[in-house]
Amino acid sequence: MFMARAKTHYICQNCGTIHTRWAGKCDACGEWNTLVEEGASGGIGSGPGMGKSRKGRAVALTSLSGDIEDAPRILSGIAELDRVTGGGFVRGSALLVGGDPGIGKSTLLTQAAAALARKSHRVVYVSGEEAVAQIRLRAQRLGAADTAVQLAAETNVEDILATLATSARPDLVIIESIQTLWSDMADSAPGTVTQVRLGAQAMIRYAKQTGAAVVLVGHVTKDGQIAGPRVVEHMVDGVLYFEGEGGHHYRILRTVKNRFGATDEIGVFEMSDRGLREVSNPSELFLGERSEKAPGAAVFAGMEGTRPVLVEIQALVAPSSLGTPRRAVVGWDNNRLSMILAVLEAHCGVRFGNHDVYLNVAGGYRISEPAADLAVASALISSLAGVTLPPTCVYFGEVSLSGALRPVAHATQRLKEAEKLGFQQAVLPLAGFDRIKGALDLTKLDNLPDMVARLAAAGAQQKKLRA
């Protein structure tokens, strides 16, 4: 039907900004080619009552003090998942689970659904991506087929809500995925910002009204390339990212946002032929494939939230034939590497100008802590000088631009974990830790030049041994 004065808007699929005219670049977020035409009739605030003026309703104001109830939780019994959600799914809240396609979101949620159903919670699994037969096949493979999870293949929001209203309130509703949801209230295609936002809004409202926990699945790459979930992140109560490196079996579930708990937790899983297996000691996994004899490897004693994680950092420094030598990083911050290289050049007299530098964090793991600086610097020098580092030593500490080593949090926990895994030495900053003691042989250093000097001495000794 022809609609008079139907206005169209151009909505940036990256940040959700509404533009009145099309442009190649969104001036709000700076992304190119993200503007998509969407009907204004389906914009936010449309729907029944739009345009009619309504007298506002007064709400009761209250104070900041008063009784606080703990958020009511539903524990899945999958410890790695419950840790990341901060102690179980919260009733009446909405959680977004994002991740690259094929990473294992459906697998994880099928396992969680089955675990909850076994504890006689009511779980509804709505999939708009796969046919019922496909989901059943997966459930069989996961040994979850005999559970009382209720299944539907549906993508229309109104139909989903109507379906949910026909029976008793479920404890958990899983919607897979947010990109396939569409509402009658807008005529844009599924996956556009308008539809994603409407669908998410409807499901979040459902959660708040009924007290069911809602899990929304979203396909999204780490840099948020796919439309939708970025705008949903602001609306939901929690955001988890499921990540992993292609070729590795480890999967890491990471809290990005949590209104009911800490945001720096990770859960570690391993993908097997029968689903995801919990990994309760990630350090053992990340250190599993260590090559102790090669130069350029240093073990970093890291922390993820409340949990220590030991991981190997590998550096390869090789003479370059290029005018501009290569700098490639996997699992760490590119800028941080440039900074460490600059500090090594400026304060330690170590030159990387004619060398390609490759840095890799073993096991497909990603480090976000500055505490890894010292381990990275040690690995770099070790590779450049061809000196192996002692295989039973761990490193942690932040490097400042002046070359000084700065203390980091949770030193005791890092040292304990290293000790537990059979390490015998640790190198750490002197500042802040002058009184710290441990079962390990501790080397406390003031600055990075000291570290370089130590490695140079070790190098001279290794050369002598080889000669």
Residue 72 contact partner, candidates Mg ion, ligand TYD, none, CB within 5 to 8 A by sort of partner: none
- The answer to whether 187 is annotated as binding is no
Is 100 assigned a ligand-binding role in the annotation? yes
Question: What tokens appear for 134 in the block?
Answer: 């496909």
Q: Does 314 bind Mg ion (CB under 5 A)?
A: no
| Partner touching 102 among ligand TYD, Mg ion, none, CB below 5 to 8 Å by kind | ligand TYD
Helix axes 373-385, 448-466, angle to 10 degrees: 30
Which amino acid would we find at residue 248? Answer: H
Query: Contact with Mg ion (CB under 5 A): which of 17, 106, 111, 195?
Result: 106
Please tell me the distance from the alpha carbon of residue 111 to that of residue 267, in angstroms, as a whole number: 15
CB nearer to ligand TYD: pick between 226 and 348: 226
Residues 6+ apart with CB under 8 A from 458: 387
To the question of whether residue 368 is assigned a binding role by annotation, the answer is: no
Select the binding partner of residue 282 from Mg ion, ligand TYD, none (C-beta < 5 to 8 A, by kind). none
Which of 414-431 are b and which e, b meaning 16 or more Cβ less than 10 Å from the residue's Cβ? Answer: bbbbbeebebebbbbbbb
Q: How much is the CA Rg of the chain, to the nearest whole Å? A: 26
What whole-number distance in Å separates Cα of residue 227 and Cα of residue 454? 51
Contact 448, 431 (CB under 8 A): no
Helices (H), 85-151: 105-118, 132-141
Give the residue nearest to Mg ion (CB).
106
Query: What residue 99 binds from ligand TYD, Mg ion, none (CB within 5 to 8 A, per partner kind)?
Result: ligand TYD
Q: Which is nearer to Mg ion, 85 or 107 (CB)?
A: 107
Task: Name 2's Cβ contacts closer than 8 Å, sequence gap at least 6.
Answer: none
In angstroms, give the least distance from the CB of 55 to Mg ion.
46
Q: Which does 103 bind (CB under 5 to 8 A by kind): ligand TYD, Mg ion, none?
A: ligand TYD
- Minimum Å gap between C-beta 237 and Mg ion is 22
Residue 325 annotated as lining a ligand binding site: no
By C-beta, is 106 or 195 nearer to Mg ion?
A: 106
Measured from the CB atom, the residue of 141 and 248 that comes closer to ligand TYD is 141
Q: Which of 336, 341, 287 is nearest to 309 (CA)?
A: 287
- The residues near 331 (Cβ < 8 Å, ≥ 6 apart) are 359, 360, 361, 364, 365, 366, 367
Shortest Cβ 242–ligand TYD spacing (Å):
7
Q: How far is the CB of 138 from ligand TYD (least distance, A)?
A: 5
Residue 355 is inside which H or E element, if any? strand 355-361
Most distant CA pair in the chain, distance: 90
Please, which residue, 14 or 106, has the CB nearer to Mg ion? 106
Helices (H), 211-333: 229-233, 282-287
The answer to the question of whether 103 is labelled as a binding residue is yes
Binding span for Mg ion by CB under 5 A among 104-112, 191-199, 377-385, 387-395: 104-112
Nearer to ligand TYD, 72 or 102 (CB): 102
CB of 217 to Mg ion, least distance (A): 7
- For tokens 């640790």, the residue is 426
Q: Can you tell me the distance from the alpha carbon of 316 to that of 356, in angstroms, rounded to the nearest whole number?
A: 8
102 labeled binding residue: yes
Q: CB under 5 A: which stretch of 99-107, 166-174, 266-274, 299-307 binds Mg ion?
A: 99-107
Query: By the criterion CB under 6 A, which residues form the site for ligand TYD?
Result: 99, 101-107, 138, 141-142, 271, 273-275
Tokens of 221: 């790459």
* Cβ-contact 194, 220 below 8 angstroms: no
User: Which one of ligand TYD, Mg ion, none is in contact with 267 (Cβ closer than 5 to 8 A by kind)?
Assistant: none
Identify which of residues 135 and 213 has a Cβ nearer to Mg ion in the complex. Answer: 135
Structure tokens at 461: 């000794």
Q: What is the total count of residues that contact Mg ion (CB under 5 A)?
A: 1
The nearest distance, CB 169 to Mg ion, in angstroms, is 25
271 binds, among Mg ion, ligand TYD, none (CB under 5 to 8 A by kind): ligand TYD
Cis peptide before 368 (omega within 30 of 0): no
* Paired strand residues for 275: 272
- Scanning 16-24, 98-106, 178-186, 458-466 for contacts with Mg ion by CB under 5 A, the matching segment is 98-106
Give the Cα separation of 147 and 306 in Å (integer). Answer: 33
Q: Are 254 and 266 in contact (CB under 8 A)?
A: yes
291 is in an annotated binding site: no
Q: Return the number of the residue (218 or 363) whose C-beta is nearest Mg ion.
A: 218
Q: Is 99 marked as binding a ligand?
A: yes
Residue (106 or 194) nearer to Mg ion, CB: 106
Residues annotated within a binding site for ATP: 99-106
Residues annotated within a binding site: 99-106
Residues lying near Mg ion in the complex (CB under 5 A): 106
